Amino acid sequence: MEVRVLSSPGAHEAGLVLADVELGSSADQAGLAAGDRIVAVDGVVPRDLIDLQFDLPAARQLTVYRDGELVDITLESGIDDAASIQLADPVPGGIRTCTNHCEFCFIRGLPGGLRETLYVFDDDYRYSFLWGNFLTLTNLEASDWARIGFQRLTPLNVSVHATEPALRRQMLNNRHAPDIVPQLQRLSAMGISVNAQVVLCAGTNDGEHLERTIDDLAALYPAVQSLSVVPVGLTRFSRVRTLRRPSREEAQGALALIERCQTELRRRCGKGFVYASDELYLLAGREEMPPSAQYDGFPVLTNGVGMLRSMQDAWDRALRRRRVVPPPRRTAWLAGSLAAPALRWMADRWERFAGWKPEVVEVQNNYFGEQVTVSGLLSGEDLIRTLHSLPPDVEDLVLPRSAFGFDGTRTLDGVSAEAVGAAHPGRVFLATTPEELLEVVGRRGR
């Protein structure tokens, strides 16, 4: 590695600032450190994290702004573990915002006073590639298409909702929205894979419209790898005129269509291709999720498709490895109504193993309304109300970590984890995974 001090006009404004570099990584060995600003990679200024991931493996020279000076670092080989680098701002310049005006948009159904980041109308292909956000492909410019193809930004997650052009424009409330099928064909020609999504609105894009969407997207397999069908979730603050959530009977009809299509598509594609979200199963009155094999490797787990089955399988695997039976104590697991059935199943399994059973407490979402069922959208207000209602002799209480944001500190209505925990005299833990739950119930001490 050769280091050479250069002049530094304007370098403090260009490039990407490193927030952290993993010790022992090739980036660390190259001399990069937190606080450095990467100004250029082989003479080209990186725009964002994607550029670093794309350029660093073959890089031979980095220009870094450090302590008021430019430092030129010559590399003997590239940096092959870009994931070891954390940036202060992974995508400088702000997120690309949405140009649609969907009635069912969850953000439009939020009240004021929540975390500021919740009000961002994101529709950014970079966030889709990096973190799995869903985008609509309605705000792409020629330069965006060129970058997606050149850097092979695959896979992307795309909200389709309907393949019929007029119906999709109606749902997006955007008369300028381009036809989605030609856009997906264009991505296919670039070698880009897509996981598609339909937000199911009763009487709008269900029935024959859903069947056409499934057929049209399945015809694009394998470029379109999967299709998730998720029922619309409306808050008590949502202002909708015609859209509504499927009833139990409508959810059952959608499931029947999806399962019929799955059977045919397994013969044609070798996989089910179209998958109902856990929420759609529960809405239809089915608490038993399909077996793992039906999810074909769980391609869209983060979209709520197969998450409950995945949790149950992980719980069984963890229990099989468990040898020590802890002493009984009164324990409560708090969760939203979506996760509660799977947690009750897990509590039954634990009782068979240990001889005592945690109580699953379903937290009603009064803040947003009963249609919002995920644990990650539980407010501090609802959690505190539920904790106040529990007997004081409950020793251990487990709250969903997802309700406290990415950093596990505050709920979406700004209540700290400490303030929520203070609502009950018992020991309060945050957990998300089956392994974390097992760590709490498996404790031997009191």
Instruction: Render pLDDT for 212-262 as a digit per residue (tens, 0 to 9).
Output: 999 999 999 999 999 999 999 988 888 888 889 999 999 999 999 999 999
- Helix/strand number for the chain, H first, E second: 14, 15
CATH number for position 43: 2.30.42.10
Q: Answer yes or no: is 156 within a domain.
A: yes
Q: pTM to 2 decimals?
A: 0.90
Q: Which of 303, 324, 357 is the last residue of a domain?
A: 303
CB-neighbour burial class of residue 226 (10 A; exposed 0-12, middle 13-18, buried 19+) = buried
155 and 229, same domain (yes or no): yes
- Determine the Cα angle at 285 with ends 224 and 103, to 5°: 55
Which residues have C-beta within 8 Å of that of residue 317, sequence separation ≥ 6?
none
Q: Is residue 97 in some structural domain?
A: no
Q: Quick one: how far is CA 124 from the chain centroid?
A: 14
Q: For the chain, which residues score pLDDT lower than 70?
A: 1-12, 444-446
pLDDT reported for residue 8: 53
> Are residues 182 and 272 located together in one domain of the fold?
yes
The per-residue pLDDT for 90 is: 94
**CA-CA distance, 400 to 408, in Å (whole number)?**
10
* pLDDT reported for residue 76: 87
Let me know how long the chain is. Answer: 446
The answer to whether residue 362 is domain-embedded is yes
Asked, for residue 68, whether it belongs to a domain, the answer is yes
d(CA 411, CA 404): 4
Q: How far is residue 40 from each of residues 49, 61, 158, 160, 176, measured CA to CA in Å?
A: 13, 8, 32, 37, 38
Of 36, 54, 87, the position where a domain reaches its end is 87
Strand order in the sheet with 427-431: 359-362, 331-335, 396-400, 427-431
Which range marks the domain in which residue 432 is found?
310-441
Do residue 284 and residue 316 come from a single domain? Answer: no
Under a CB-based contact definition with an 8 Å cutoff, are residues 153 and 194 in contact? no
Q: In this predicted model, what pLDDT tens digit does every residue of 32-60 receive, in sequence order?
A: 999 999 999 999 999 999 999 999 999 99
What is the identity of the amino acid at 258?
Answer: I
Only one residue has tokens 């050769």, namely 2
Does residue 61 share a domain with residue 191? no
Distance, C-alpha 125 to centroid of its chain:
15
From 55, 87, 119, the end of a domain falls on 87
The answer on 419 and 333 residing in a single domain is yes
Do 124 and 66 lie in one domain? The reply is no
Q: How far apart are CA 309 and CA 289, in angstroms?
A: 6
Tally of structural domains, the chain? 3
**Rounded to an integer, what distance in angstroms lies between the CA atom of residue 272 and that of residue 221?**
11
The CATH number assigned to the domain holding 420 equals 3.40.50
Does residue 95 fall inside a structural domain? no
Using the structure block, give the residue that is written with the tokens 């999810």: 295
Q: Are 125 and 135 within 8 A, CB to CB?
A: yes
User: What letter does residue 122 receive in the DSSP assignment?
Assistant: B
Tokens describing residue 106: 């969850």
> Alpha-carbon distance 175 to 225, whole Å?
28
The single residue listed with the structure tokens 């984890």 is 417
The per-residue pLDDT for 293 is 95
Residues 63 and 18 grouped into a single domain: yes
Statement to judge: residues 291 and 407 lie in one domain: no
For the residues of 323-351, what is the DSSP string, one character each? -PPPPP--EEEEE-TTTHHHHHHHHHHHH
Q: How distant, in Å, are the alpha carbons of 33, 147, 296 from that of 56?
A: 15, 17, 33
Q: Where does 183-252 show beta strands of DSSP type E?
A: 194-200, 224-231
Residue 99 lies in a domain: no
Q: Domain check: are 332 and 429 in the same one?
A: yes
The three-state secondary structure class of 5 is strand
Residue 7 pLDDT: 57
* Alpha carbons 168 and 179: distance in angstroms, whole number: 8
The residue type at 116:
E
Reported as a single tens digit per residue, the pLDDT across 358-368 is: 999 999 999 99
d(CA 314, CA 306) in angstroms, rounded, equals 12
Q: Is residue 93 part of a domain?
A: no
CA of 144: how far to CAs of 124, 152, 187, 292, 436, in Å?
A: 10, 12, 12, 37, 41
Do residue 329 and residue 436 come from a single domain?
A: yes
Domain at 200, CATH number: 3.80.30.10
Residues 382-402 have pLDDT tens digits of 999 999 999 999 999 999 999
Residues 316 and 292 both lie in one domain: no
The answer on 78 and 121 residing in a single domain is no
Q: Is residue 129 part of a domain?
A: yes
Count the Cβ atoms, other than its own, within 10 Å of residue 346: 26
- What are the tokens at 43? 């003479």
